[in-house]
Amino acid sequence: MTASAYSASARWYREGHCGYHLRTMKSAGEILDMLEIERPGGNMSRSGLPDLVLVQDMHGGSRVSGNLGGRRFDVTSKKGAFYLGAPNFALTANVDIGHQMRVVAFPVAQWQKILDEAVDGQFSFELAHVYDGMIDSPAIRSVLRRMWGIWADEGAPSRMLMRAAGCEILAELSRLGGAPFAPARGGLAPWAERRALDLMHARLDEDISLDELAAEAQLSSFHFSRMFKQNFGVPPRVYLTRLRLEKACELLEHTDLSVTEIALEVGYSSNPVLARMFSKHMGMSPSEYRKSVREPLRRYTLR
């Protein structure tokens, strides 16, 4: 692929501005670019570029400050957290220590056309609330893991798969920014949403029924399921699966527990059940995922 086919942000990172060291750069045919980068601490400010840029901190523990298009922020970064840079905005950012990050660049001109067709012009890149600093989103982490898993295979990734994954990420960013694709009608009240999510997290290793979740929100199962989907875009069972796979990925990456032990830890009855869910949602087995995330981390640590 020629250099001009990459997004402006990908070219900027590749040229090594601000001490960036590019480890990996992949492109899904001008739809989006994904990069893995290392860089020392210091100033990372840049002029505006015509891309929406999502950055994931792979290790956490750094002090991050700046303005990415919303308002000025100053936070201690968490492992796996995200930062969203607004398109055509002169970003200011400073990180106190060296770090590793993954970047997804969405060329706005390409995606505006895609989204206008998909949702009748109801999407806007004016996402002020999610340009404010650190974002913690299990849904986006799950999608990005799947995208990196696809790219780990030989050969070019499917443009259709990348387009679908990109839409998932933008839909979640839109929800977090308070501007969903379509006006929400009759969704869960904030207190009911919070109680349902707390129950999911607290009993991740159990077989939680829809009736139990509905009871937390003081609703019938039918109405709870409908309202939950309006809030999150997916049914409760799908959201719970995302949480379980998120936790499984974390344990595969950071512990030496066997796959069977991890399966039980996240509410699956056996290794084969977890493997089946992993294959369906991540495009690889748990063991393949563990290898794919640990080998690059080992090389990074030993440098």
Q: In Å, what is the CA distance from 274 to each residue of 127, 190, 225, 249, 258?
A: 36, 32, 24, 11, 12
Residue 56 above 80 pLDDT? Answer: yes
The domain segmentation of the chain, as residue ranges, is 3-176, 190-302
pLDDT band at 118 (very low <50, low <70, confident <90, very high): low
Mean pLDDT (the chain) is: 83
CA separation for the pair 50, 3 (Å, rounded):
16
pLDDT band at 1 (very low <50, low <70, confident <90, very high): low
Q: What pLDDT score was predicted for residue 281?
A: 79
Q: What pLDDT score was predicted for residue 181?
A: 55
Strands 92-95 and 99-107, sheet pairing: unpaired
Structure tokens at 277: 């869910």
Structure-token match 């159990």, residue found = 206
Residue 184 above 60 pLDDT? Answer: no
Asked if 107 contacts 50 with a C-beta cutoff of 8 angstroms, the reply is yes
Q: Which residue has the higher pLDDT, 109 or 292?
A: 109
Is this model's pTM higher than 0.75 or not?
no
Averaged pLDDT for residues 278-282:
82
For the chain, helix (H) and strand (E) counts, in that order, are 11, 10
E strand intervals along the chain? 21-27, 33-39, 42-43, 51-57, 63-67, 73-76, 82-85, 92-95, 99-107, 134-135
Averaged pLDDT for residues 209-218:
90
Please state which architecture CATH assigns to domain 190-302: Orthogonal Bundle (1.10)
Q: What pLDDT score was predicted for residue 258?
A: 93
Asked if 75 contacts 134 with a C-beta cutoff of 8 angstroms, the reply is yes
Residue 183 above 50 pLDDT? Answer: no
Question: pLDDT per residue over 119-173, tens digit each?
Answer: 666 667 777 678 888 998 888 988 888 888 777 554 555 677 788 888 889 888 8
Q: What pLDDT score was predicted for residue 303?
A: 43
Asked if 46 contacts 12 with a C-beta cutoff of 8 angstroms, the reply is yes
Asked if 81 contacts 56 with a C-beta cutoff of 8 angstroms, the reply is yes
pLDDT band at 85 (very low <50, low <70, confident <90, very high): very high
Same fold, 3-176 and 190-302: no
Query: What is the layout of strands, in order, in the sheet containing 92-95?
Result: 42-43, 92-95, 63-67, 73-76
Least confident of 55-59, 268-272, 277-281: 277-281
Please state which architecture CATH assigns to domain 3-176: Sandwich (2.60)
